[in-house]
């Protein structure tokens, strides 16, 4: 995939299994979000091959096997949170989802009536409790408070017991906390990260403090 003749993604191979959290790191403009959108199916590159159980997937979302939390807010305004949640949340986990305090407090409101942090929390929860087997989280720790971040880490880890998750965020320490393994996007290629030292080697970090 390229923008203005600059190749963003060219040698990418990413595998995620059920029960696993893969952390995806990379500098600004390295193509992390584009890669997640390509896997999800909302962005079409010149070539892609995405498969689940060795079966080619044309659109990750169209058969409900992949859910994606975009960087921006995605819930439409003017419709109650409870109505929106019913369309996204897996019926199997409905009770668990509705027991979340943020849902109980705001389920009767619309997206436009919530603060940025509250909306982001609900949007993330709706993706984490989605019926899809694979979850793509693009910056789930951004735009929320440190307390909310600490709340989400065990929720994401619990979700990974039954799903495969790919998570990316510039708060790399939070990604390192939740991920089982880390992949870095460097010069359009995916490379495995075996330790924090590798992040310095790949110039993602300037040094280890």
Alpha-carbon gap, residue 73 to 81, rounded angstroms: 13
Q: Which of 33, 40, 125, 184 binds another protein (CB under 8 A)?
A: 40
| 89 or 185: CB nearest another protein | 89
| 64 or 116: CB nearest another protein | 64
**Do the bridges between strand 164-168 and strand 21-26 make them parallel or antiparallel, or are there none, so unpaired?**
parallel
CB of 153 to another protein, least distance (A): 22
Alpha-carbon gap, residue 119 to 80, rounded angstroms: 12
Is residue 100 a contact partner of residue 81, using CB atoms and an 8 Å limit?
no
* Sheet containing 21-26, strands listed edge to edge, beginning at the edge strand earlier in sequence: 66-69, 134-138, 164-168, 21-26, 181-186, 189-193
Is 75 a binder of another protein (CB under 8 A)? yes
| Residue listed under structure tokens 């893969």 | 22
Is 73 a binder of another protein (CB under 8 A)? yes
Is 67 a binder of another protein (CB under 8 A)? yes
Considering only the stretches 10-18, 81-89, 95-103, 175-183, report the one whose residues sit in contact with another protein under the rule CB under 8 A: 81-89
Is residue 119 a contact partner of residue 150, using CB atoms and an 8 Å limit?
no
CB of 47 to another protein, least distance (A): 21
Helices then strands (H, E): number in the chain? 8, 10
Residue 168's SS3 state is strand
Is 126 a binder of another protein (CB under 8 A)? yes
| 24 or 132: CB nearest another protein | 132
Point out which residues bind another protein (CB under 8 A). 40-42, 59, 61-64, 67-68, 70, 72-79, 83-84, 86-88, 126-127, 130-132
């Amino acid at each position: 995939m390229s923008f203005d003749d600059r190749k963003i993604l060219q040698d990418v191979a990413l595998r995620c299994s059920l029960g696993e959290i893969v952390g995806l790191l990379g500098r600004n403009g390295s193509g992390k979000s584009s890669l997640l959108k390509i896997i999800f199916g909302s962005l079409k590159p010149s070539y892609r091959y995405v498969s689940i159980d060795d079966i080619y997937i044309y659109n990750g979302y169209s058969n409900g096997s992949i859910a994606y939390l975009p960087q921006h807010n995605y819930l439409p305004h003017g419709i109650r949170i409870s109505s929106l949640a019913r369309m996204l949340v897996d019926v199997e986990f409905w009770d668990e989802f509705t027991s979340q305090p943020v849902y109980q407090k705001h389920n009767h409101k619309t997206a436009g009536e919530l603060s940025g942090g509250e909306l982001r929390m609900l949007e993330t929860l709706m993706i984490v409790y989605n019926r899809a087997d694979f979850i793509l989280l693009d910056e789930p720790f951004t735009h929320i408070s440190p307390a909310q971040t600490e709340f989400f880490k065990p929720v994401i880890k619990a979700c990974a017991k039954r799903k495969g998750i790919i998570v990316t965020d510039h708060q790399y320490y939070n990604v390192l906390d939740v991920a089982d393994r880390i992949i870095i996007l460097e010069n359009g290629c995916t490379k495995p990260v075996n330790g924090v030292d590798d992040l310095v080697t790949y110039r993602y970090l300037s040094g280890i403090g």
